[in-house]
Amino acid sequence: MQVAIVTGAAKPDSIGHAVALGLVEEGMQVVVADLYEQGFGTLPRCLCIRTDVSNPASVDAMVNRTVEKHGRIDVLVNCVGGSWGITAQDLTAPPPRGFRGLTNCTLDDWRTILGANLDATFYCCRAVAPHIKKQGGAIVNLASVAARKGIPPGAEGSSGPYAVAKAGVMALTKQLALELGEFGVRVNSVAPGVIASGRFTKVAAMTGPGAGPEGPLKQIPMGRVGTVAETAALIVALCTDDTSYMTGVTVDINGASYAA
């Protein structure tokens, strides 16, 4: 039986949660790595491990426990990310008010946001690599439309450092695909636009209708935001043999907002 690790999957209204459930339905043993222990009870068919993915020692411990329990790792999905709600101190906090760009963010903002989005993806991929190389498998990283377009000044709920971090995730994905291809490991990323997750609900409650974390919602050509289920279905597909010759790419799921 294949074994999958999904980071950032404990919150029931998150993309990661839906991915974890989808991989269980695919017949995989799923390990959830997250700081949000309150959500562990919503995933009774998963092994849930409290993990700070921005801390390499915590990541290594989680991976070691996974291998001790299941003996192998076939799939890694890096879903942890965001500009807020990403540390043990602010897991349930509302989004901060105001625009945070590269010229007005604090150094703590920069380090924290890059730590949770880019560093964490690197730590998890590096820790899993020796195990997944043994038989091959799939890694899926979450990027963002913010890496394609940037965050327009005045937007709230996201940040300039987040856009930079997710662009780094796209580059990391390409590089890993080159390094792991000979071992039968596929590495792809998914770049969602505005998705109706719990994070978006909190941003909408703060900014009011019509405003999204990447700018006005009216700029989305399809005329709506995406759903968690749509996004998770794409990620799950990238973890299966249905996409067995697909690697080194970033797949956009944003209602054509990147093209607009």
First-to-last CA distance in the chain? 43
Q: Which residue has the tokens 């995933």?
A: 43
Do the Cβ atoms of 115 and 103 come closer than 8 Å?
Answer: no
Going 190 to 193 to 195 to 200, the CA torsion angle's sign is positive
Phi, psi for residue 248 in degrees, rounded to 5? 80, 20
Q: Say how far apart CA 160 and CA 145 lie, in whole Å.
A: 12
Q: 130: Cβ–Cβ under 8 A, 6 or more apart, which residues?
A: none
Question: Of 36, 123, 162, 245, which residue is the catalytic one?
Answer: 162
H or E, element range at 192? strand 185-192
Tokens for 34, please give them.
């997250």
Strands 215-216 and 250-253 come out as unpaired
| Exposure letters 195-231 (e unless 16+ CB within 10 A, then b) | bbbebbebbbeebeeebbbbbebebbeeeebbebeeb
Q: Which residue has the tokens 């990541």?
A: 59
Please confirm, yes or no, whether 245 is among the known catalytic residues. Answer: no
Tokens for 98, please give them.
């105001």
Question: Active-site residues: which are they?
Answer: 162
